Chains A and B, each alone.
Chain A
Amino acid sequence: GAGVSQTPSNKVTEKGKYVELRCDPISGHTALYWYRQSLGQGPEFLIYFQGTGAADDSGLPNDRFFAVRPEGSVSTLKIQRTERGDSAVYLCASSSRQGDTGELFFGEGSRLTVL
C-alpha cells in the first residue's frame, strides 16, 4: 500500500502474555519510529531505526520492550510479560531521510488492551 501499515489494529491480551506488533513502512523510507499514545496524551517516543539498526532506543520504558527491523523495512515491536499499564495505542511512523523536513508519516496505530 501507499501508507504506513500496522497490524493488528486491535489486540486484547491478558496480563503476563507476550505481544508482537508489526509495522510496514512506506517503501523506500529508511527511518522508522515507534511511539506510544496513552489515553488523553500525545504520542511519546519509544525507538528510532535508521536502516536495520536501532539508532535511539532511549524511549523504551523497560527491558520488557524490544523492537527489531532485520531487513531494514518491516519492524516488529515486542512486549514481554505484558502489564495493564502497557495498554495504549502504539504508533509507527516512517520518513525518507533523517532531519530534513520533520515530516513523519504515521500509521493508524495498534490499540493494545491488557486485561
Chain B
Amino acid sequence: GDSVTQMEGPVTLSEEAFLTINCTYTATGYPSLFWYVQYPGEGLQLLLKATKADDKGSNKGFEATYRKETTSFHLEKGSVQVSDSAVYFCALYSGGSNYKLTFGKGTLLTVNP
C-alpha cells in the first residue's frame, strides 16, 4: 500500500539557517505529492504541491521537487524564520476519486532567534 516516510524530528535551527526535511514515498502509479504545515494552535494547511515528476512546488520561500527516480519530495528553505516554527507533513495521493491523502508522521521544526 501507499506510505510516506519523513525525516524524524524534532529539528531545531537558528534563524536564517538552511532547512531540509526529507520525505520519501511508496505508491502505486504516479502519485501527487504535498507538504502540509500545522502552525501552533491552527489546523493543517497546504504549503505546496507537485503533481508530476520533475515538478517543483513552491510557496512562502519553501520548495520541493518531485523526484520519481528517488521517490522523494524533500522540503527546503534557504533561510528560515522564527515564524516557520511548525509541524510539517509530507503527503501523497495515488489515485481514485476520493482524494484520500496518505500522510507521513510529521516533523516538528523549531526556529530560534
Contact = CB atoms under 8 A, between A and B. Distances in A.
Are A and B genuine complex partners? yes
A113 to B, nearest CB: 18
B41 interface: yes
Contact of A3 (B43, B46, B93, B98): B43
Nearest to A101: B49
A18 B105 CA distance: 28
Interface of A: 3-4, 31, 33, 40-45, 48, 50, 55-56, 59, 91, 93, 95, 98-99, 101-109
Given A102-B34, A104-B101, A109 B106 contact: no
A102 B43 contact: no
Nearest to A100: B99
Interface residues of B, number: 26
14 contacts: A31-B99, A33-B99, A42-B6, A98-B99, A99-B98, A99-B99, A102-B34, A102-B101, A104-B44, A104-B46, A104-B99, A106-B43, A108-B41, A109-B43
Nearest to A38: B105
A106 B44 CA distance: 5
A108 B42 contact: yes
Contacts of A4: 43
Contacts of B91: 42
Nearest to A5: B43
A93 to B, nearest CB: 8
Contacts of B99: 31, 33, 48, 95, 98-99, 102, 104
A45 B101 contact: yes
B89 interface: yes
Contacts of B6: 42
Contacts of B104: 42
Interface of B: 4, 6, 32, 34, 36, 41-46, 49, 51, 89, 91, 93, 97-106
Contacts of B93: 102
Contacts of B98: 48, 50, 55-56, 98-99
A80 B100 CA distance: 25
B46 A103 contact: yes
A31 B102 CA distance: 17
